[in-house]
């Protein structure tokens, strides 16, 4: 019984901290780790993507601060559409962003969530 307790305590310490025996995933499992920050994506140079990016940035920088935060997702829906257009191109990114806007509601979310300042947000990144 004591041996099982020691094994449990040791495994908890080594798996949940950066103590001895903890190694982050590598190889085919390296993509399982959560990203600490968003991966950088190159800007698209086609005219539709440039125009859409300017409209989204205008919304984020001018309209959203006046109107107030309303998104139940992190990253926000505008940021998601911007990242999706940078990653997949204008048409697929626009469709992904519209799909995201259709899901923007207070319905219960059964997938991953993030708690920021004691508020639970729906977690749905473009890269995960």
**Domain contains 118:** yes
Tell whether 35 is covered by a domain.
Answer: no
Over residues 21-68, the pLDDT tens digits come to 555 555 555 555 554 555 567 778 889 989 999 999 998 888 888 877
Assessment of whether the complete model's pTM goes beyond 0.75? no
Residue 55 inside a domain? The answer is yes
- Checking if the pLDDT of 20 tops 80, the result is no
Residue 56, domain member (yes or no): yes
- Beta pairing, strands 113-116 & 119-123: antiparallel
Residues 6+ apart with CB under 8 A from 84: 92, 93, 94, 96, 97, 100, 126
pLDDT reading at 128 higher than 80: no
Q: Rounded to whole angstroms, how far apart are CA atoms 122 and 113?
A: 5
pLDDT digits (tens, 9 = 90+) for 69-102: 778 888 888 888 998 998 888 999 999 999 988 8
Beta strand pairing call for 119-123 and 73-74: parallel
- Is 108 inside any structural domain? yes
pLDDT computed for residue 67 by the predictor: 78
Residue 72's domain comprises 44-123
Report how many domains make up the chain.
Answer: 1
């Amino acid at each position: 019984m004591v041996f099982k307790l020691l094994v449990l305590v040791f495994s908890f310490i080594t798996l949940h901290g950066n103590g001895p025996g903890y190694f982050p995933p590598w190889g085919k499992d390296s993509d399982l780790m959560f990203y600490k920050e968003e991966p950088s994506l190159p800007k698209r140079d086609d005219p539709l993507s440039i125009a859409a990016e300017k409209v989204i940035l205008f919304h984020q920088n001018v309209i959203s601060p006046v109107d107030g935060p309303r998104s139940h997702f992190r990253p926000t829906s505008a940021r998601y559409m911007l990242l999706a257009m940078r990653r997949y191109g204008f048409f697929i990114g626009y469709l992904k962003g519209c799909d995201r806007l259709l899901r923007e509601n207070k319905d219960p979310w059964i997938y991953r969530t993030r708690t920021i300042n004691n508020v639970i947000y729906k977690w749905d990144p473009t890269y995960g």
